[in-house]
Amino acid sequence: DTGVSQDPRHKITKRGQNVTFRCDPISEHNRLYWYRQTLGQGPEFLTYFQNEAQLEKSRLLSDRFSAERPKGSFSTLEIQRTEQGDSAMYLCASRSAYTDTQYFGPGTRLTVL
């Protein structure tokens, strides 16, 4: 069990550019979650997958955001036409069907200039 991993850990981009983040969950965890954490706030739920199916999306997830989990393993979160307000820490978590605990990765810190 190597834990949830996220790549990259840091991303600096210019406004208007597209960015993509990757999350690798703990092996055999069928549920995968994305959260966003802005400075001084707690994480806010964005979306989650059960296997490859995206089951829920927060209204925070505008149409510039898209998340995929094509084979039910790793997931990607893409932000198109980034805005300064997108600057945040993007956290990924996973859990198995047999536990009620979500395990979090180290996060990807996005800075939009």
Partner 1 sequence: AQSVTQLGSHVSVSEGALVLLRCNYSSSVPPYLFWYVQYPNQGLQLLLKYTSAATLVKGINGFEAEFKKSETSFHLTKPSAHMSDAAEYFCAVSDLNRDDKIIFGKGTRLHILP
Helices marked H in 17-80? none
- Which residues, numbered 94-113, are part of the site for partner 1 (CB under 8 A)? 100-107, 109
Residue 106 DSSP symbol: -
Should residue 1 be labelled a site residue for partner 1 when binding is judged by CB under 8 A?
no
Residues in 50-79 that interact with partner 1 by CB under 8 A:
56, 58
User: Distance (Å, rounded) from C-alpha 32 to C-alpha 29?
Assistant: 7
- x-or-dash pattern for partner 1, window 13-42, by CB under 8 A? ------------------x-x-x----xxx
86 contact partners, CB below 8 Å, separation of at least 6: 79, 110, 112
Binding stretches for partner 1 (CB under 8 A): 4, 31, 33, 35, 40-45, 48, 56, 58, 91, 93, 100-107, 109
